[in-house]
Amino acid sequence: MNNKWVEFSTGFFTISGIVAMVILVFQATNFSQMIGSDVYKVTASFDNVSGLKERSAVSIGGVKIGRVSQINIDKESFEALVTIEIDNQYDQIPEDSSLAVYTAGLLGEKYIGMTIGGAPDVLKEGSHINLTQSSIVLEKLISQFLFSQSDKK
């Protein structure tokens, strides 16, 4: 076997394997979303966030501005405490903006939609948002409907 061919093809194989890995990282994964580490964290309390997951999107008017980084329970009020990371370029969001949990697709993925308020102060690192609307739980919706039906009679 020609020695030069052995070395050349082995080198080519190694390089192509590494290039394949790099292409996979850039084309097939959420790499571009991970490298944006210039975010600021804001917390919010919800009554009910059933269906919301970590890394769910946070958007204004359908445009993604950040994502959910943590979902915990507030130890005193037992409300759901959601920590969201907002991209640094959106640093002019008024302090009295409200959050609500909506459903995105047919498969029921939840996301947080933000409605802008009118306050002069803006959200900063560590701000807390109080105006929140919980996600819709199917059972409550049905019981509300049945209750309103029995009311009419």
Partner 1 sequence: MKWINSTGRFTIDFIAQQGNSVILCLMTILAFIKIPKRFGLFIKQVYAIGVLSISIIIVSGLFVGMVLSLQGYNTLVNFGAEESLGVVVALSLLRELSPVVGALLFAGRAGSSLTAEIGLMKATEQISAMEMMAIDPIEYILAPRLLAGIIAMPLLIALFSLVGIYGGALVGVDYLGVDSGAFWSQMQAQVDIQHDLMSGVIKSVVFGFVVTWIAIYQGYSCIPTSEGVSRATTHTVVFASLAVLGLDFVLTAAML
The reply on whether position 149 binds partner 1 by CB under 8 A is no
The reply on whether position 9 binds partner 1 by CB under 8 A is yes
The 3 state secondary structure assigned to 76-134 is CCCCEEEEEEEECCCCCCECCCEEEEEECCCCCCEEEEEECCCCCCECCCCCEECCEEC
Q: Which of 2, 4, 32, 92 binds partner 1 (CB under 8 A)?
A: 32
In angstroms, the CA 134 to CA 64 distance is 19
The reply on whether position 7 binds partner 1 by CB under 8 A is yes
In angstroms, the CA 25 to CA 96 distance is 39
Site residues (CB under 8 A) for partner 1, limited to 57-116: 106-107
Q: How far is the CB of 153 from partner 1 (least distance, A)?
A: 38
Q: Which of 2, 4, 28, 144 binds partner 1 (CB under 8 A)?
A: 28
The reply on whether position 17 binds partner 1 by CB under 8 A is yes
Determine how β-strand 98-103 pairs with β-strand 110-115: antiparallel
Binding site for partner 1 (CB under 8 A): 6-7, 9-10, 12-14, 16-18, 20-21, 23-25, 27-34, 106-107
